[in-house]
């Protein structure tokens, strides 16, 4: 187990730390707990569901990659399936601050990429910033989403974001986490194919600029990320950040990237290409392929 996970365990109640050990010692632990595992953790730690989620926040925050601020934020997205997805903030030196990922975005993206179709709750160790409140307002569960903070009763997102501006104000009737399938031709190269497959599920109702990133790691593993657009535009999560979140939650650092593929739809009004290339280059990845595609449906 690495040092940051051991440190996180030290911040947990001892009954929970003992129960977490088998998970954290496993190579297959990827920063989430199934519904069954959540119940088992509650039973072995004696904590209620809310107490357990709050007690797991130091573990979530241990995934932070914050070389600029050293400020570690942890979040848990509670999927409708019962699975809990951890997330943490990410910062990238030598890139603009706009490339930063917030913990709530990390946990939500984690759940989205893992196939979750709805969230019930977010548990966070600090009050969500305005950027994250707007990001969460794009979710298909925005009206009902519960926000749980330490020492504060749970409240729904509309409490934290009254008089909200969202997809409906722009005439969009579906939302983030609703199924997205943009049919497109697949490719024989597995990494390119992974990027195309992710792009086919990206969410871009305002620009239709579907895009995704696939990363090959020095372990041979592939991770993908897809674009999640926002009605207020700026809180949109770029496809590279979506992939970097997954990379981090699987226990890797950006330095482990050996090859990257970026794909986006041809002819869209906006492009993620230059920002993606610049950030990948800042992270030390120079083997980058970029492709455009057209939908076949």
Residues that bind Zn ion (CB under 5 A): 102, 129, 131-132
Strands 84-88 and 257-265: unpaired
Tell the smallest beta-carbon distance from residue 73 to Zn ion (Å): 7
Phi (first) and psi of residue 149, to 5 degrees: -115, 160
What SS3 state is found at 28?
Answer: coil
**Active-site residue (options: 104, 116, 229, 264):** 104
Strands 84-88 and 119-124: unpaired
Tell the smallest beta-carbon distance from residue 130 to Zn ion (Å): 8
Tell the smallest beta-carbon distance from residue 129 to Zn ion (Å): 3
- Does 132 belong to an annotated binding site? yes
Return the number of the residue (160 or 203) whose C-beta is nearest Zn ion. Answer: 160
**Which residue, among 90, 100, 152, 161, has the nearest Cα to 124 in the 3D structure?**
152
Return the number of the residue (132 or 280) whose C-beta is nearest Zn ion. Answer: 132
- Does 141 belong to an annotated binding site? no
- Does 102 belong to an annotated binding site? yes
Return the number of the residue (39 or 129) whose C-beta is nearest Zn ion. Answer: 129
What is the crossing angle of helices 14-24 and 3-10, to 10°? 160
CA dihedral over 131, 137, 141, 144, signed as positive or negative: positive
Tell the smallest beta-carbon distance from residue 192 to Zn ion (Å): 33
- Does 129 belong to an annotated binding site? yes
Instruction: Give dist(CA 27, CA 49) in Å, integer.
Output: 26
Structure tokens at 253: 């650092």
Is 3 among the catalytic positions? Answer: no
- Does 51 belong to an annotated binding site? no
Return the number of the residue (122 or 215) whose C-beta is nearest Zn ion. Answer: 122
User: Binding site for substrate: what residues are annotated?
Assistant: 89-91
Which positions are catalytic? 104
User: Binding site for Zn(2+): what residues are annotated?
Assistant: 102, 129, 132
């Amino acid at each position: 187990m690495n040092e940051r996970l051991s440190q996180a365990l030290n911040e947990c109640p001892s009954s929970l730390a003992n129960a977490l050990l088998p998970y954290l010692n496993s190579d297959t632990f990827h920063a989430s707990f199934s519904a069954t595992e959540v119940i088992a953790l509650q039973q072995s730690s004696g904590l209620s569901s809310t107490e357990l989620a709050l007690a797991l926040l130091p573990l979530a925050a241990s995934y932070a990659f914050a070389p600029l601020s050293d400020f570690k934020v942890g979040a848990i997205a509670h999927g409708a399936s019962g699975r809990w997805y951890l997330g943490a903030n990410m910062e990238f030196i030598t890139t603009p601050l706009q490339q930063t990922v917030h913990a709530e975005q990390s946990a939500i993206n984690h759940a989205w990429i893992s196939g979750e179709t709805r969230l019930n709750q977010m548990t966070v160790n600090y009050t969500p910033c305005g950027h994250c409140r707007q990001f969460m307002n794009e979710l298909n569960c925005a009206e009902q989403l519960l926000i749980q903070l330490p020492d504060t009763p749970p409240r729904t997102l509309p409490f934290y974001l009254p008089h909200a501006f969202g997809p409906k104000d722009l005439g969009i009737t579906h939302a983030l986490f609703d199924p997205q399938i943009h049919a497109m031709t697949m490719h024989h190269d597995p990494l390119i194919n992974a990027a195309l497959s992710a792009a086919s599920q990206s969410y871009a109702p305002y620009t239709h600029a579907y895009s995704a990133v696939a990363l090959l790691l020095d372990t041979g593993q592939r991770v993908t990320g897809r674009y999640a657009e926002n009605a207020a535009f700026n809180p949109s999560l770029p496809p590279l950040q979506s992939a970097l979140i997954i990379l981090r939650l699987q226990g890797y650092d950006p330095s482990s990237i050996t090859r990257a593929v970026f794909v986006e739809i041809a002819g869209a009004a906006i492009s993620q290409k230059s920002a993606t290339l610049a950030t990948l280059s800042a992270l030390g990845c120079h083997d980058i392929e970029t492709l455009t595609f057209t939908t076949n449906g």
